[in-house]
Structure formats: C-alpha cells, structure tokens
Structure 1
Amino acid sequence: MKKVKVGIVGLGRLGRRHAENLAFRIPRCELSAVCSVIEEEVQEVMEAWNIPYGYTKYEDILANKELDAIFIASPSNFHCEQIKQALDLGFHVFSEKPLGLYVEEAYDVQQAVKAHPNQVFMLGFMRRYDRSYMAAKEKIEAGVIGKPILIRCYGLDPANKMESFLKFARANYSGGLFLDMSIHDFDLARWYLGVEAKEVWAIGGSYARPEFDEIDDAETGAAMVRFDNNAIGIFVAGRNCAHGYHIETEIIGTKGTLRIGTVPERNQVVIMKDEGVIQECVDGFLERFEQAYLSEAEEFINCILENRTPNINVEDGVQSTILGYSCKTSFETGQLVQVKAKNMIYE
C-alpha cells in the first residue's frame, strides 16, 4: 500500500501535535523527516519516534528527494517563502495559517500555487473540519436558519498563555491580534456567509498587560465588518481569558440562529461543591480542536493519494489575509477601512 512520505518543519506546540498525527494516526502517511531550528527538538523526536531524517535548516529538508510533501508549522512570518520554495521543488504542501502577514506576499503565494496545478496545496483552517462547525455549515446550506445575516465570533486565549505569546510576538513571529487569532473566524465567516468583506472598523487596547502597547498590538480587540451582501460580522479576540480557552460562534439567520461553543466545556462532567456548580473549560486550542487537526491532516494526505484538490484553497488564504490585514490597519489608524483587493482605501 502506497504511503505519502512527509517532512514537517516546526516542532513547537502545534507542530508537535501535527507531527504526532502524521507519524502515528494516519495509516497511509509516513513521517520521514523533521526540521526545527532547535536541534534538541529534532534529536528528541528522531530518537523517540524512530524518524530517519532530521534537520535544523529548511533548505536541507527540501533537498531530501525521498519526500513527497512538506508540512509547514513554522512561525507565521516564514510561511510564504517556505511555501514557494517547496512548491518550486515539486512538493505537495500543507501550511498552517495564516497564508501571509502582508497582502502582497499572500498574492505571491497565490501565483506560486497556480503555477503548480499538479501539486496539492492546503491551508490549515482546521475549524472547517471540526464536527460541530461542519454540522452548522450543513444546517445553513439546508436552509434551517434561512439566510444568514450576522455572524458573531469570540476567540479568547487563556490568560496563563500571555507570557508565551509575548515572547512569540516580540520575536516578530506574529502579525498581530487580528491576523494571528481572528483569521480563523474570518475564514468561518466567509465560509458560512458565502461572500467577501466590504468594510471594517477595528478597535482594541492593552488592559491588563501594557506590554502589548510596546509591540503595537492589542491584548483585546474587536472588529465590525460589513460584507458584500450587507451581512454583519462581529469579531472579538483576546489574550486574557481567565476561565480558559473560549471559542464561540453564533450565526443569526432570517429564520433562526445557530450557536457553537457557548460554554467552552471540557467534557460533560459537572462538579457540584460548596462553592457552586462548576463546568471545567478546555485549556487551549490543541485540546478543543484535537479531532479537527487530525481530520485536516487526513484530508491533505487523501488529496495527494486521490489526486484531488482540497476544499480549502489558496484563495481562502488570500481573502482571509486581506480581511485580517484590513482589521490590523483599521486598529492602527483608527479609521474605517474599505476592504479592496490590492488597494485598501481609508475613510
């Protein structure tokens, strides 16, 4: 039985989870190579999982002719160049979000993908593979809530992860709150509403941690978006959620409403004690979207084996980057931004 031989770049929190899925949970996939700038991570994974090849330079993993595909889980600012390099050398490519931190580089990747039509390219918008989000999409398409006219999204990271994020951001690995966090919600909005954004207004600030001001970012922010069909988007993102990792989505239609994740419960266990009734919350994205991360990696491998195109394509990455960068621009300038490809206009 043919297996797809994959090399992964990036062994951080998410990269490690992707690597585990590729190595142990997808029967027709073989994780053959790992790459990280941290040599200790490479050696640990190679020895523990019996991986034959390990590298500390991206160019070296691309020189491995045994590989069929490259799985990119490196910091965001490396994605575009690494995608283009891998495509040019004939690899199938999976890249984590975002496609790019700037609109022009996202367009560059779009051209690179179009220049290699026989190679599979897939972007890591894993929520589209989460069972709850998939069920909501099916209900929208079935007309259960009529025409969707408003989407409200909360994306709140645990407060206890702020130190690690600040380290990440200070190293210039992040594109800011809206590109780093809200990008998933922007993709969901496009997916559910079926239209592109028209104009945005974004605000935010640093409330518990003034260090965010020092890096020109927001600890908590909100964006209001008008879409082409006059539908409304309300997006809230934050780094200081005391109760854990809170991802919530509401889609309001002309005939009803759908809600996903209103209570970020870890499981169905309810604790009843003298201090009250407690439902424990999920601790982070790896726990909440465990199934989705596996399902999207399975889809990538199956697309290679079956010679077909994933449902999530480079255009989804480009349009989400345009919207995310528009929100970043609105936040930084305090102005309403007209969302237009290649030429954003301020009012």
Structure 2
Amino acid sequence: MEKIKVGIAGLGRLGKEHAKNLSFKIANAELTAACSIVPSELEYAKKELGLEKVYLDFHEMLKDADIEAVVIVTTSDQHCWQIAAALDAGKHVFTDKPLGVTIEECKIAEKAVERHPELTFFLGFMRRFDPSYSHAKEKIKQGAIGKPYMLKATGIDPEALVEGAIKFASKSGGIFIDMAIHDIDFIRWFLESDPVEVYAAGATFKHPEFKAVGDDETGAAMYKCANGAIAFVHVGRTAPHGYHVETEIIGTEGTIRISPVPEKNLCMIYDQHGAVKECVSGFPERFADAYRIEMENFIHCIQQKDKPEITVYDGTKSTQIAFTTMEAYKKRKLLPITY
C-alpha cells in the first residue's frame, strides 16, 4: 500500500512531536511539506526533517505541495478556517484539539466536514489512544466496574513551566478552556452521557499574575450528566513534582484509577529522601505513545476509508461544555449546559 503524503501546519512543541512521528515512526505516512509563520520552525523542518517544501502561507501549501492530507497543529484560533480550507482543497485533515475557540468557529468546521463526507476528518483527543486509557475503556465495556457513575479527573502542568503559562494566560481563554478540554472529553467518553449542569470555581495562592488577567492558577468544576452520573475536574498549572494527569472512574461494582502517580518509568530511587519515583516532565513525555498511535489511526482511516471514532461534533460539544464551565466560574453559580 502506498504511503499517504502529508503536510503539517505548525511546528511548535507539539507540532514537532507529530512531525517526528510522521517522518520516522509511522510506516504508511510520508511527511513531504511543512507550513509555519515562524521562520525558525521552517529551518527546523529543512535541517532536522529533511523537507524541501516549506511554506509561510497555509493556502500556498495546499495549492503547491504534493500532499493528500494535512495535520493542523497551529494555534487554536486558526484551526477551523484551516480545516475548512484543507477539506475544500480535497485534503484529509487531522487537527489537534480544541476544535475551535468559539462555537461559531466550530460550526464552520462542522459544515466543512459535512460538505466532504468522502474525506477523513480526525480530531486529536489523543488521550483516548493512550494505552492505559484505552485499556480502561475496554475494561469498562467488559463490565469490570459495573455501571460507571462518577469520574474524577486531575490535570496539572508542572511548576517548572509556569512562566510560559503566565505569559499565555491573557490569551488562553481561561483556565478551563486552556486546561480542561481533555478531561471534559473523558466525561462524555467514560460516562457515556453529556454533562447538563456545571458549577466551577478557581483559586490563586502562589502566582498573582494569573489574577491580574482575570484567571486563576487552579480550577475545579463539578458536572451532573443527563444520565445522573457525576464528574469532578481539577486543573492547575503549579504541580511541584512534574506533569500530573490522573483519572478515576467509579462504577457500581468497582473502580479504575489511571496514573495515580505520574511515573517516569518503573525505576525506584532509594536515597536520603526515602523511596522516590521520578515523574514525567510534560505532556510530550507522558503521552508519547498516544500521539503516535492516534496518528497511525488517522493514516489507517484514510487508507481503509474507515470513519474515526471521534467526530467533529465531539469537538463542538467539548467546546460548548468548556465555555459554559468558564461562564459558571465567572458568575459563581450553577449553570445549565445547552447544546
């Protein structure tokens, strides 16, 4: 089977991970072009990835490059128009989360996907492809914990990266839009029901810079789902030990916990500090396998003409939930979630 020729848009921290996977780790894909508005990223594409076709303009890449698919890893506010442009140019599309930063943008993406049912559209909720999370989902399908009725999700970025978070805070859309989109997706995936009510609150005790732009360093939200299930989401930006992602799904007959300790590996260090487990430093390290597996799945869907499990409508719903969560946080009141 011939390789799928791919162009990538965006070569920041995550874009580089996708580009390396496409270039070196996915047998049925060939990265042939790259686009970025940052010249140094295009130099990276030439020197580290060996690409000859690099572009400053997204439309030019779509028109000129010999590609069948586009991987979009640009800033969130660029996703939807690029999705529409790529699909209208006859390209299969993978886009990183979130789908868009407004509901209106998400609807643009929905209409573009609907115009092109012959093309593959793949939304990058990569945690669904993490081996631990996908195993948990399979166990739940098998009835291992009975009927799931509660989810507790924690996602905290490391304190070591907080300066970057502070710089980005004024443009992030707020802590829940910035930090909670994967956990919101998990509510719908694991509990198999849409949230219909939310209450949210935030706190800042260490970095007042977040408060200065109307945000917080830590946020917590509680959701009630249409089927009666409950979810709790805790997000933050100041984990002192590293990148902390943890999820617990509670059912009528048992519980599944994923990553209660964000272990770097199976090594245990015994020293003057006691028995110590090193922790992962960030999302590229923690979810390296997930990023590779989801991209393999994208290429597989193109070649086999399969429909991805995650749809454009999942992206819109996650955005709607995140925006209502931010509204509940700002108004300090319980709010209904409408779709």
Structure 1 length-normalised TM: 0.95
Would the aligned equivalents of 1:98 and 1:180 in 2 still touch at CA under 8 Å?
no
Q: Which residue of 1 aligns with 2:82?
A: 82
Cα deviation code 1:161-188 (max 9, x no counterpart): 1112223334x3x232212221101111
Q: Which residue of 2 aligns with 1:288?
A: 286
Q: Helix, strand or coil for the counterpart of 1:134?
A: helix
Q: Which residue of 1 aligns with 2:18?
A: 18
- CA drift at 1:60: 1.8
Cα deviation code 1:227-273 (max 9, x no counterpart): 00110000000001001001000001011111000011111111111
Cα deviation code 1:31-90 (max 9, x no counterpart): 011111111210222123211211122222122251111100111111111111111211
Q: Which residue of 1 aligns with 2:236?
A: 238
Q: Which residue of 1 aligns with 2:98?
A: 98
Which of 335, 339, 345 lines up with 2:333 in the alignment?
A: 335
Cα distance in structure 2, aligned partners of 1:185 and 1:134: 14
Cα distance in structure 1, aligned partners of 2:213 and 2:95: 26
Cα distance in structure 1, aligned partners of 2:112 and 2:44: 34
Q: Which residue of 2 aligns with 1:344?
A: none
Cα distance in structure 2, aligned partners of 1:69 and 1:300: 10
Cα distance in structure 1, aligned partners of 2:225 and 2:104: 22
Would the aligned equivalents of 2:87 and 2:112 in 1 still touch at CA under 8 Å?
yes
Q: Which residue of 1 aligns with 2:128?
A: 128
Q: Does 221-230 or 209-218 show the bigger shift?
A: 209-218
Would the aligned equivalents of 1:76 and 1:175 in 2 still touch at CA under 8 Å?
no
Cα distance in structure 2, aligned partners of 1:314 and 1:192: 18
Q: Which residue of 2 aligns with 1:251?
A: 249
Would the aligned equivalents of 1:96 and 1:125 in 2 still touch at CA under 8 Å?
yes
Q: Does 161-170 or 287-296 show the bigger shift?
A: 161-170
Aligned counterparts, 1:305-320, within 5 A: 305-320=303-318
Would the aligned equivalents of 2:22 and 2:30 in 1 still touch at CA under 8 Å?
yes
Cα distance in structure 2, aligned partners of 1:4 and 1:180: 32
Report the AA paired with residue 257 of structure 2: R
Q: Which runs of 4+ in 1 moved over 6 A?
A: none
Structure 1, unmatched stretches of 5+, are 342-347
Cα distance in structure 2, aligned partners of 1:79 and 1:134: 26
Report the AA paired with residue 5 of structure 2: K
Which of 172, 182, 185 lines up with 2:183 in the alignment?
A: 185
Q: Helix, strand or coil for the counterpart of 2:64?
A: coil
Structure 2 length-normalised TM: 0.97
Report the AA paired with residue 41 of structure 1: E
Q: Which residue of 2 aligns with 1:325?
A: 323
Q: Which residue of 2 aligns with 1:300?
A: 298
Q: Helix, strand or coil for the counterpart of 1:297?
A: helix
- CA drift at 1:141: 0.8
Q: Which residue of 1 aligns with 2:51?
A: 51
Q: Helix, strand or coil for the counterpart of 2:149?
A: strand
Cα distance in structure 1, aligned partners of 2:262 and 2:44: 33
Report the AA paired with residue 101 of structure 2: L
Would the aligned equivalents of 1:145 and 1:254 in 2 still touch at CA under 8 Å?
yes
Cα distance in structure 2, aligned partners of 1:58 and 1:237: 33
Q: Helix, strand or coil for the counterpart of 2:236?
A: strand
Structure 2, unmatched stretches of 5+, are none
Cα deviation code 1:274-317 (max 9, x no counterpart): 22111100000110000000000000011111111111111111
Q: Helix, strand or coil for the counterpart of 1:63?
A: helix
Q: Which residue of 1 aligns with 2:142?
A: 142
Cα distance in structure 1, aligned partners of 2:48 and 2:332: 50
Cα distance in structure 2, aligned partners of 1:120 and 1:91: 8
Q: Does 49-58 or 22-31 show the bigger shift?
A: 49-58
- CA drift at 1:333: 1.6
- Residues 326 and 159 of structure 1, relative CA distance in 2, 3 Å threshold: same
Q: Which residue of 1 aligns with 2:4?
A: 4
Which of 249, 252, 270 lines up with 1:272 in the alignment?
A: 270
Would the aligned equivalents of 2:4 and 2:28 in 1 still touch at CA under 8 Å?
yes
Cα distance in structure 2, aligned partners of 1:215 and 1:53: 40
Cα distance in structure 1, aligned partners of 2:29 and 2:272: 50
Cα distance in structure 1, aligned partners of 2:236 and 2:9: 28
CA RMSD of aligned residues (A): 1.2
Q: Which residue of 2 aligns with 1:41?
A: 41
Q: Helix, strand or coil for the counterpart of 2:94?
A: strand
Give the paired residue count. Answer: 339
Which of 218, 221, 244 lines up with 1:220 in the alignment?
A: 218
Cα distance in structure 1, aligned partners of 2:304 and 2:234: 39
Q: Does 283-292 or 214-223 show the bigger shift?
A: 214-223
Report the AA paired with residue 86 of structure 1: A
- Residues 169 and 54 of structure 1, relative CA distance in 2, 3 Å threshold: farther
Cα distance in structure 1, aligned partners of 2:93 and 2:240: 37
